[in-house]
Chains A and B, each alone.
Chain A
Amino acid sequence: MNAAVIVFPGSNCDRDAVCALRDHTAKSVHRVWHRDTYLPKVDLVLLPGGFSYGDYLRSGAIAARSPIMAAVQAHAKRGGLVVGICNGFQILTETHLLPGALMRNAGLKFLCKSTPLRIENADTPFTRAYDDHGETAIPIAHHDGNYFADEDTLDRLEGQGQIVFRYVNNPNGSSRDIAGITNKAGNVLGMMPHPERAVDPLTGETGGLAFFKSLAGAMA
């Protein structure tokens, strides 16, 4: 399978994402600049973490209107897999590929630490290699990770199995402890924790390995 990682001005997790995808998921991984208007032929598009456009206006707001995003939207509409990690999740809500919004952390602090997560739905292309309702730990690193949506939307997310990851100890005030969700069709995922930072024992933990292995399985 082939993957593309979109690079925005201010992205800073794109190289880690490329390494994780190359080592565990994809045959070839392209890096695509945000000003491009076409995607190479890929099965998966990953929007990486970072501070696109310096978080100006709102986190992810300006990146969501950059030229490549029309191609990402078309890829998602065709059923192609899309992953947004951290700033990528913020960009996906700003493009309305995912519902809700990510607000300032309830405690106002930037949080950077390993975070226990519960796998709420292991029947997705992103989580099949995890145990259903098992736990893992993946680091978070964000200032705006407080997931908000109105009650109807939250009920719908719950009812349709769209809540994929939940915090075991909610660090940021997210509604219903949400750490990651999919769209209704199940091909677009956004999550605040950084699985690409947890694939090698060298960097401390490997809770994200199953994420990239799941994607490899989904594309096999």
Chain B
Amino acid sequence: MKAIVHIRPRSGVLDPQGQAVAGALKHMGFDEVLSARQGKIIELELGDDDEQAVRQRVQKMCEHLLANTVIEDFSISIEP
């Protein structure tokens, strides 16, 4: 089973990298870009097929290491 963790800066937290990306896109002529937030994706391959259990374990992994909840939000999606 696969778990995909999306981590992004919390709303209200300054994201200078996202701002730089948005600035560059606008500079290139992509005028429709209003803003950008830059985060990261972590793909986990897991040796467990119980979706409920996987979700709980990955939630713990996020809280204890993968995300810093002072500045980041995360979401988890599970794939078979």
* A residues adjacent to B (C-beta < 8 A): 57-58, 61-62, 65, 93-94, 99-101, 103-108, 146, 148-150, 173
Asked if residues B20 and A108 are in contact (CB atoms below 8 Å), the reply is: yes
The answer on a CB contact under 8 Å between A108 and B16 is: yes
| B65 close to A61 (CB less than 8 A) | yes
Report whether A148 and B70 are in contact in the complex, using a CB–CB cutoff of 8 Å: yes
- Partner-A contacts on B (CB < 8 A): 13-14, 16-17, 20, 64-66, 68, 70-71
Tell me what chain A mostly uses at the interface: helix, strand, loop, or mixed: loop
A63: shortest Cβ distance to chain B, in Å?
Answer: 12
Could you count the A-B residue pairs with CB atoms below 8 Å apart for me: how many are there?
38
Distance (Å) between the CB of B56 and the closest chain A CB?
20
Bound-complex Cα distance A108 to B20 (A): 9
Contact of B68 (CB < 8 Å), options: A94, A150, A173:
A94
Q: In the docked arrangement, what's the CA distance between A146 and B70, Å?
A: 13
Structural contact, A58 and B68, CB atoms closer than 8 A: yes
Which of B14, B20, B71 is in CB contact (< 8 Å) with A173? B14
The docked-state distance in angstroms from the alpha carbon of A61 to that of B40 is 15
Given A100-B70, A101-B71: A65 touches B13 (CB 8 Å cut-off):
no
Nearest-Cβ distance from residue B16 to partner chain A, whole angstroms: 5
Contacting residues, chain A, for B64 (C-beta < 8 A): 65
Q: CB distance B68 to A104 under 8 Å?
A: no
